[in-house]
Structure 1
C-alpha cells in the first residue's frame, strides 16, 4: 500500500538524487490534440471551406485546448520526480497541491510497462507499479508516465531485483515458454466480440454524424443500398445483412487479435517472475510473480472448442481488482488446445496439465435442469411469433414454426453439452472444476490457496437435491464454483479437498431423520 513519505529519511535516501521524466512528454501531451484537430478539419470540410461561426468556434476550441494541454505537459515535466531510495520508491508531483508518495519495495507485486502509439512515436513508456491489493484506493499503485524505454527497463529491473524464485524450481527452467505463431490467426474470427465491435462502430459513427447535423441516411450510397434492399424479399435481405455483419466481425476480430497479440512472448525470468509481452500499436509488458500463482484457467469458447483451440489465464493473487485481473491474467492468445495444455503445465512446473484430469460426473438430474432451461428459452422466443400469427397473419405462425424447428434441436444440444461439461476432481495439490457451454472453463486451483467455502442452493436446487459449491481464494476471480453437485457429494468433496475447513459449520442430521 502506498503511504505518505516519512519525514525523517536516512542519509542514503537523502543522498539519492531525484530523476525527471523525459522532456518528450510535452510533445506527447500536444499529440492529444489530434482528435479535436481532426474534428475541426472535418467540420471545415463539411462546411465547404467556409469559415462560419461554427467553424471559428471549433478553431478557437482547438487553440485553447492546445494551450491548456501544453501547459499541463510542461507542469508535469517540471514538477514530477521519482527515485528509489533505501527500501522504497518515492514519487513527487504537483505545483499548487504537492503530493509526495512512497511505496515499500517489499510490497511491490507488479511492474507493468505500457506504451500507446503516441508514446511509441517519441520513444516513451508508462511504468505502473502495483501492490496487487484489491481495493479502489489510488494508494495501491504508482504510475510514472513519460520515461524513456531505457529508464523504464532499468526501473523495472531494480524494482523486481528483490524477487526470489518459487521453491522447487530449477534455475535452468528460466526462459521462453511460448511466443507468437501466426498460424494461430485462424482462431481470431471465432468470437462474437467482432460482431459486437462492428455494431458498436456503426452506432458510434451514426451518433457522431447526427451530432454534427449530418444525416447518414441521405448519403448517395446509403440510398442506393436501401433501393436494392427494397427490390428483394425480406428474408433474403436479412440473410445478406447477417452474412455481411459476420464477415465484417471476422475482419474486426482478426484486426483486434493482430493488434493485441503482435510480438507475443511468455517468459519465465530469473527471480521467479513470468513476463507477458504483446501489442502492436499499444505495447504491454505484464509481470506476474510465480510464488503468487495459485493455478490456471483453461477457457474454450464454443466456436474455439469446435476448432480444437483454447487459451490460458493465470489464477494468481496480487493482480489487482476484478477488472485489472481480467486484463492482466491472460497468459496466451487463442491457440491450439495441445499448446495451451503445454503452457499450463510449464507455468505450474508440472509434467502434465492438471486440467487433463478425469473428472467426477454430476448427478443425472442436472441434465433435466438444463433441458428445462432449453425448452423455456425456446418457448419464450417462439411464443411472441405465434401470438402475432394468431392476431395478424399466418405468416407469423410459419415463422414461429420454423424458429421452433431451428431452435429446439440447437438448445437441446447445448443442454446436453452443458451437462457433459460439468465435473470436478482432486489431483495431487490441485482442485479441478469445469463447467460452461458457451464458454467452457476448466480451473486447476491449488488446494492450499482455498481459504473458505461458499455453499448456495436455489429453490430449484433444493428440490433437486443439488447445491453449488464455491471455493473462495485470494487469487483470480476469488471464487471458483463446482456447479450443481449433489449435496452429499459436494460436502464430501469440500472436506476431501481441504480437511477440517467446512466440517465445523455442518450440523449432523438427527437420527430419526436419517432412518427415514
Structure 2
C-alpha cells in the first residue's frame, strides 16, 4: 500500500515589526515643538494672580500629558511588515491605515539623525516614491543598525526582488548587516577646506538673517524690533552729527559698516555650510548613489542611478574665478525642497570642473562630455533677452524724474548693462543632441549646463509665442519626471524649421528606444 505523505508545511509568516521602544519620545518632542510657542505664550502671559497661574500650569500639564498619550498610542499602533516584494505599514489610532509599498516603487531612502538620535543610537527612516509630496512611510524611530539594514534591503530588492525561502528571512535582515553586498566605492569626498570654500562662495548667510528677522516678530510685540532699530539708529546718527565729521569720515564709516555686514554674512554662510556639508561623502554601491553629510544632524540619503532624470552643472562668477562648480540632479522622488536635505539633489556641492566632468562620464558611460560641438543660436536675437528691461526701465525712469528730478534719469544706466549681459548670454546659448542624450547650456554671469538621457524624457512640446510667430522662431520644451529648479530643459530661439526638425528627431529616437 502506498505510504501517506504529509502535505508540505507552509513557512510561518514573518512577524510584524515595531519601532524602537523610545520612538514615542521622539514623536512627542516633534509634536511639542509645534506647540512650543503657544505654550511659552501661555506660561508668560497666561495669568497674573495665584489662581490664574495655577490654571495656567494645570493647562500646560494637561497639554503635555495629552501629547505623551498620543505619542504612546502611535507607537503601540504602528506596525510594519517586510514581505517578498513590498513593505506593509499599519498605523492610526481611530482610523486604521494600511499601506503597501513595493520595493520597486521606492525611489529614495533617507536616514536622518539629529543630535538626540545620535545620543540614543537611533535614526529616522523615510521611504519616498516618485512625484509624492510626502514620504510613503516615515519610521520614527529605528535602531541605527536596523535603519541601515532596511536601507540595504530596499537597495537589493529595488534592483531585482530575489526569492525568499522563508518569510522570516526578511525580518532577519534587519538584525544583521548583509555580508554579500559589494563594498561602496567613494566617488567624492569633501574635506573641511572644501566645506569652508562652499560657505565663502555662497550667500546662505541671508537665510540666517531673514530667519532671525522673522523669529523676532514671533517673540516680540509687533513693531518692537523696527521701533528699536529706528530709535537706536537716530541716537547713533544724532550723536555722530554733533561731532561734525568730515565727508571722508562718513565714507569710511559707511565702508566699514557695509564691510562688517558682509563679513557677518560670510561667517554665517560658513557656519551653515559646516552644519550641512561636514563629512560630505558620495558613494556608489550596486548602482545606487548615497550621500552622507551633516555636523550635528547627520543625513544619509540614497537614490538609484536609474531614477536620475536630469543633470545640471552650474557655476557662479565667484565659483568660476576659483575654479569650482556644482553638480545637481533631478530624481523621480519629488519629496522635500531643494534645501532641506531630504531629497538627494546635490552630487557635488562644490568641486573642480574636472571632477564634475569625471562624475558625469562615470555615471553616464555613453555620454560624450563635454560635447564635441555645441549648436548655437542666432545672435541677432539678443534684444529678446533684455526686452523686459527695454520696456520697464524707461517707464520707471520717467516716474523717477517726476519724483526726484533729473537724478531719476540715472535708472537709464541699467539699459547698457542689460544689453551687454544679453549679448553675452546669447553668445553662450546652445544645445547638443545625439542618439543617447540632449544637452542645453546658457547663462553668462552664472553659467549652467543641463542634460538628460533620451530614455528619461516624458514629453516634448513645441512652443511659439506671438513674438516667435512674428520672427519665425520657436522653442522646444523637454520635460522629465521630477524636474525642479529654476533651469528648464529648453531649446530657445531656434528657427521654426530647425525646431520642428529637432522635435521630429527626438520623437523618432524615443519611438525607436521604446521598441527595444
TM-score normalised over the length of structure 1: 0.78
Superposed counterparts of 1:103-118, under 5 Å: 103-118=101-116
| Aligned: 1:147 with 2:142 | yes
Per-residue deviation, 1:500: 6.6
> Which of 76, 79, 84 does residue 77 from structure 2 map onto?
79
SS in 2 for 1:432: strand
> Which of 478, 484, 497 does residue 471 from structure 1 map onto?
478
| Aligned: 1:282 with 2:284 | no
Per-residue deviation, 1:176: 0.6
> Which of 268, 278, 281 does residue 284 from structure 2 map onto?
268
SS in 2 for 1:296: strand
Match of 1:434 in 2: 441
Could you list the per-position Cα deviations for residues 120-149 of structure 1 after superposition, in whole angstroms to 9, with x for gaps in the alignment? 3332212112332x255x6x7122221110
> Which of 324, 334, 338 does residue 320 from structure 1 map onto?
334
| Distance of aligned partners of 1:34 and 1:294 in 2 relative to their CA distance in 1, 3 Å threshold | closer
SS in 2 for 1:150: helix
- Contact between 1:187 and 1:334, CA under 8 Å: does it hold in 2? yes
TM-score normalised over the length of structure 2: 0.78
Could you list the per-position Cα deviations for residues 365-420 of structure 1 after superposition, in whole angstroms to 9, with x for gaps in the alignment? 32122244443354355333222124xxxxxx33x344444x34432332223212
Could you list the per-position Cα deviations for residues 183-226 of structure 1 after superposition, in whole angstroms to 9, with x for gaps in the alignment? 33223243445335413421331343126xx823565x874443
> Could you list the runs of 5+ residues in structure 1 that have no partner in the other structure?
1-9, 166-170, 391-396, 503-516
Match of 1:296 in 2: 311
| Distance of aligned partners of 1:302 and 1:498 in 2 relative to their CA distance in 1, 3 Å threshold | farther
Distance 2:400 2:51 in 1: 52
Match of 1:198 in 2: 209
- Contact between 1:361 and 1:422, CA under 8 Å: does it hold in 2? yes
- Contact between 1:294 and 1:445, CA under 8 Å: does it hold in 2? yes
Q: How many residues align?
A: 469
Distance 2:444 2:459 in 1: 27
Per-residue deviation, 1:15: 2.3
Per-residue deviation, 1:267: 0.7
Per-residue deviation, 1:284: 1.8
| Distance of aligned partners of 1:327 and 1:128 in 2 relative to their CA distance in 1, 3 Å threshold | closer
SS in 1 for 2:94: coil
SS in 2 for 1:328: coil
- Contact between 1:113 and 1:285, CA under 8 Å: does it hold in 2? yes
Match of 2:424 in 1: 417
| Distance of aligned partners of 1:187 and 1:462 in 2 relative to their CA distance in 1, 3 Å threshold | farther
- Contact between 2:371 and 2:432, CA under 8 Å: does it hold in 1? no
Distance 1:34 1:218 in 2: 29
Distance 1:34 1:125 in 2: 18
- Which is further off, 468-477 or 29-38? 29-38
Per-residue deviation, 1:363: 0.9
Could you list the per-position Cα deviations for residues 321-340 of structure 1 after superposition, in whole angstroms to 9, with x for gaps in the alignment? 68579942321213333332
Could you list the per-position Cα deviations for residues 38-75 of structure 1 after superposition, in whole angstroms to 9, with x for gaps in the alignment? 8867997899x977788667644532332122112211
- Contact between 2:128 and 2:335, CA under 8 Å: does it hold in 1? no
Q: CA RMSD in A?
A: 3.8
- Contact between 1:298 and 1:355, CA under 8 Å: does it hold in 2? no
| Aligned: 1:66 with 2:64 | yes
Match of 1:485 in 2: 494
Per-residue deviation, 1:288: 1.4
Distance 1:327 1:186 in 2: 23
Match of 2:168 in 1: none
Match of 2:170 in 1: none
| Distance of aligned partners of 1:250 and 1:430 in 2 relative to their CA distance in 1, 3 Å threshold | same
Distance 1:410 1:326 in 2: 39
Match of 1:157 in 2: 152
Superposed counterparts of 1:260-409, under 5 Å: 260-270=276-286, 272-316=287-331, 318-320=332-334, 323=337, 327-349=343-365, 354-355=369-370, 357-390=372-405, 397-398=406-407, 400-405=408-413, 407-409=414-416
SS in 1 for 2:348: coil
- Contact between 2:429 and 2:442, CA under 8 Å: does it hold in 1? yes
SS in 1 for 2:474: strand
- Which is further off, 144-153 or 93-102? 93-102
Could you list the per-position Cα deviations for residues 85-140 of structure 1 after superposition, in whole angstroms to 9, with x for gaps in the alignment? 233211122232222222223333332212234433332212112332x255x6x7
Distance 1:275 1:305 in 2: 27
Per-residue deviation, 1:151: 1.1
Per-residue deviation, 1:302: 4.5
Per-residue deviation, 1:266: 0.8
| Distance of aligned partners of 1:284 and 1:403 in 2 relative to their CA distance in 1, 3 Å threshold | same
